[in-house]
């Protein structure tokens, strides 16, 4: 008979620091404690009526026929109208929608909501000229320039579903997504800026279009002004067509859309299989993102909010474009990297615009930890009143560093869990209500029903680790995988009946708070103990000399799997045999001897995608001495080669 340790995830890392909300923050907070007492359907019905303007009201809040949900059935609305036009109609035309900062210093532009309405209308009229109508699939392949959200909103104005492909992806990635969605139009730009050099987006787009014959027209936005190849009859400079296009909203009214009409596809970059086209529809997505944005980030009319993600990912769709604009928020939009021209660029932006809410990823926070707090100390960050974390579980020491050095040891931190598939944040503190714990995403958002199951589908209960599941539909949830019902059912709904399987490990503590343990694929089985990579990484980063750590496993004849750690030390310091022993013992003290890494490789950099995620899959390839998988999405592909060299020279066995 199988033992329990084979079916649960062993969790041994304890974190006992607590941060209750201050009375001052609680008094002014958008969320109050009684929000958790509300019936879930009543909550979402009220949010649907208050957060969004309808052309025709909805008749039913939710129809749930597992594994498919419909939300706000019968309602008609338009996303662009909700994000732009209604705010201008309400007298907010002069309010800044985006403070845009280009990577070259001094390259700045403010767009008000009235500016946005004019630009979106003009862009929509250009799209109409090249044949885009309601239902025409459009691909967008751009950097972080204002024309990216403008293009997205122009598509929604016309009722044209879009897919945004991150500007760091290869031609193969771009063509594969355009072919899957059967895109007829591509919007791109000549080049993008990155760390002071240019990235030739149009040349990559040309290669992709050669493999995507369904794309009939390509609009090219001028960014750097350098030459870009143009094919007559297919390609057109956006500025040439825009010169004769009207910016009068009356010339391009917002198309009424059904609540369940396709809004966009967001492709997940699968490591081995074909990327999945995650389907997001109109009403539920907009209500879910705008509601969570308002409560979780405590958005005020005067807020200057900065989500430092890329719009090419779901975080950018939900919390740079659709959620914030639906709430008439002023946001910061930044084109470049955190370390150009120097490592204080982010902090200078916060000081310049007096940002009060910053939402970023743990990998970015750990990079700043590695560089040191002195860069933040050069700038006045006193405008900040709330910090957020997104992407992967944040280890406690990075959480503490973030609060102390960026938040002045006074700001609440909202550590949020959600996915491309969920569309909106699902597990999170509510600032002003929740007592936070470093490393914990705390409670499900009101109306969301989450649990942790063992292999047999039983609730694990407090203290144990297992699989995170969602037991109730939520408004922004995916409506399937595009053109692949079987894969949708098998990926998310086959492990347990009528319950969404998130693919993440988690535990619930004695207070009912959730601790995310990373992808189930990243759980290591060491001598029958299922240990989360996140817990070992957190223990390593808890050491005062460690800036970043990534952990994976390799096969081991004795223990089944052995733990391999890749460690970056603070201040660019090199590792040593003494430091290696010190770190192994530190992990043993924090978690237990079973979790001591068998190998530690010291490396100045970890392999990361251009969005900042650590590529543990490649680290497993190194640990197993296998041929490396796809490295095209890495920010710096040479990092892996250096790690391979170090791995062969720095191995040590217990």
- Whether the pTM exceeds 0.85: the reply is yes
Mean local confidence (pLDDT), 110-132:
98
* Residue 84 lies inside a defined structural domain of this protein: no
Q: Out of 370-379, 403-412, 570-579, which region has the weakest mean confidence (pLDDT)?
A: 570-579
Q: Which two tokens stand for residue 255?
A: 């198309």
CATH number at residue 253: 3.40.50.980
Structural domain harbouring 128: 113-261
* Residue 508 lies inside a defined structural domain of this protein: no
CATH number at residue 557: 3.30.300.30
Predicted local confidence at residue 618, as pLDDT:
84
- Domain final residue, candidates 235, 261, 287: 261
Predicted local confidence at residue 642, as pLDDT:
79
Question: Rounded to 10 degrees, what is the CA torsion of 618, 620, 621, 625?
Answer: 140
- State pLDDT tens for residues 146-172: 999 999 999 999 999 999 998 988 888
Burial of 268 (0-12, 13-18, 19+ CB in 10 A): middle
* Residue 644 lies inside a defined structural domain of this protein: yes
Q: Which two tokens stand for residue 53?
A: 């303007």
- State pLDDT tens for residues 310-352: 999 999 999 999 999 999 999 999 999 999 999 999 999 999 9
Predicted local confidence at residue 649, as pLDDT:
60
Instruction: Give the largest Cα separation in the chain, rounded.
Output: 74
Mean local confidence (pLDDT), 642-654:
62
* Residue 138 lies inside a defined structural domain of this protein: yes
Q: Out of 130-139, 416-425, 638-647, which region has the weakest mean confidence (pLDDT)?
A: 638-647
* Residue 399 lies inside a defined structural domain of this protein: no
Residue 4's pLDDT band (boundaries 50, 70, 90)? Answer: very low
**How many domains does the chain fold into?**
2
- State pLDDT tens for residues 528-552: 677 878 888 988 999 999 999 999 8
Q: Which residues of 193-210 are buried (b: 16+ CB within 10 A; e: fewer)?
A: bbeeeebebbebbbebbe
The answer to whether the CB of 565 falls within 8 A of the CB of 574 is no
* Residue 451 lies inside a defined structural domain of this protein: no
CA 105 to chain centre: 26
- Domain final residue, candidates 237, 261, 285: 261
- Domain final residue, candidates 239, 261, 283: 261
Q: What is the percent of the chain where pLDDT is above 90? A: 77
Gap between the Cα atoms of 263 and 65, Å rounded: 21
Residue 589's pLDDT band (boundaries 50, 70, 90)? Answer: confident
* Residue 572 lies inside a defined structural domain of this protein: yes
Alpha-carbon Rg for the chain in angstroms? 24
Predicted local confidence at residue 168, as pLDDT:
82
The answer to whether the CB of 57 falls within 8 A of the CB of 75 is yes
* Residue 377 lies inside a defined structural domain of this protein: no
Mean local confidence (pLDDT), 564-568:
93
């Amino acid at each position: 008979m199988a033992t329990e340790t084979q079916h649960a995830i062993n969790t041994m890392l304890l974190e006992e620091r607590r941060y209750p909300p201050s009375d001052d923050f609680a008094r002014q907070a958008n969320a109050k404690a009684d929000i958790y007492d509300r019936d879930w359907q009543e909550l979402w019905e009220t949010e649907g009526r208050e957060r969004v303007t309808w052309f025709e009201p909805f008749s039913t809040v939710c129809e749930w026929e597992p594994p498919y949900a419909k939300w706000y059935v019968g309602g008609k609305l338009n996303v662009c109208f909700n994000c732009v036009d209604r705010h201008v109609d309400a007298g907010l035309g002069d309010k800044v929608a985006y403070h845009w900062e280009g990577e070259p210093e001094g390259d700045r532009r403010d767009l008000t909501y009235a500016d946005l309405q004019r630009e979106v209308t003009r862009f929509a009229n250009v799209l109409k000229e090249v044949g885009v109508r309601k239902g025409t699939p459009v691909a967008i392949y751009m950097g972080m320039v204002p024309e990216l959200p403008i293009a997205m909103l122009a598509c929604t104005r016309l009722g044209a579903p879009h897919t945004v492909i991150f500007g760091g992806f290869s031609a193969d990635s771009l063509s594969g997504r355009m072919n899957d969605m059967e895109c007829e139009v591509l919007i791109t730009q000549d080049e993008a800026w990155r760390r002071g050099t240019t990235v030739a987006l149009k040349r990559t787009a040309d290669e992709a279009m050669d493999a995507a014959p369904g794309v009939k027209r390509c609009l090219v936005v001028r960014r750097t002004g350098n030459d870009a190849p143009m094919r007559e009859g297919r390609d057109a400079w956006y500025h040439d067509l825009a010169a004769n296009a009207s910016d009068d909203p009356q010339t391009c009214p917002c198309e009424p859309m059904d609540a369940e009409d396709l809004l966009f596809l967001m492709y997940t970059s699968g490591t081995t299989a074909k990327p999945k086209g995650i389907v997001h529809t109109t009403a539920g997505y907009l209500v879910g993102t705008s509601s969570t944005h308002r409560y979780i980030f405590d958005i005020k009319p005067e807020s200057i909010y900065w989500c430092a993600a890329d719009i090419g990912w779901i975080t950018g769709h939900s919390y740079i474009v659709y959620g914030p604009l639906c709430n008439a928020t002023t946001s910061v939009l930044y084109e470049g990297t955190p370390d150009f021209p120097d490592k204080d660029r982010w902090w200078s932006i916060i000081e310049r615009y007096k940002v009060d809410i910053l939402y970023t990823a743990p990998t970015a926070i750990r990079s700043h930890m590695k560089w040191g707090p002195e860069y933040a100390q050069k700038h006045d960050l006193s405008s900040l009143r709330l910090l957020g974390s997104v992407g992967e579980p944040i280890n406690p020491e990075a959480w503490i560093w973030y609060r102390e050095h960026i938040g002045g040891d006074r700001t609440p931190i909202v550590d949020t869990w959600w996915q491309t598939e969920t569309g909106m944040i699902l597990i999170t503190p509510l600032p002003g209500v929740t007592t936070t714990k470093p490393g914990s995403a705390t409670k499900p958002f009101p109306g969301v029903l989450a649990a942790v199951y063992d292999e047999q589908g039983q609730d694990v209960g407090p203290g144990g680790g297992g699989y995170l599941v969602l037991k109730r539909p939520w408004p922004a949830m995916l409506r399937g995988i595009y053109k692949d019902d079987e894969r949708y059912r098998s990926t998310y709904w086959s492990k347990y009946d009528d319950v969404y399987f998130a693919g993440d490990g988690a535990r619930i503590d004695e207070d009912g708070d959730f601790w995310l343990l990373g992808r189930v694929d990243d759980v290591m089985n060491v001598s029958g103990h299922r240990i989360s990579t996140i817990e070992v990484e957190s223990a390593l980063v808890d050491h005062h000399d460690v800036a970043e750590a990534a952990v994976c496993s390799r096969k081991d004849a004795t223990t089944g799997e052995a733990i391999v750690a890749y460690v970056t030390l603070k201040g660019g310091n090199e590792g040593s045999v003494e430091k290696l022993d010190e770190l192994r013992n530190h992990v043993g003290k924090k978690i237990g001897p079973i979790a001591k890494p068998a190998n530690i490789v010291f490396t100045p950099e970890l392999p990361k995608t251009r969005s900042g995620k650590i590529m543990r899959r490649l680290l497993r390839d190194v640990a197993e001495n296998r041929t490396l998988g796809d490295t095209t999405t890495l920010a710096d592909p040479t990092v892996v080669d250096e790690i391979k060299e170090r791995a062969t020279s720095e191995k040590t066995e217990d």
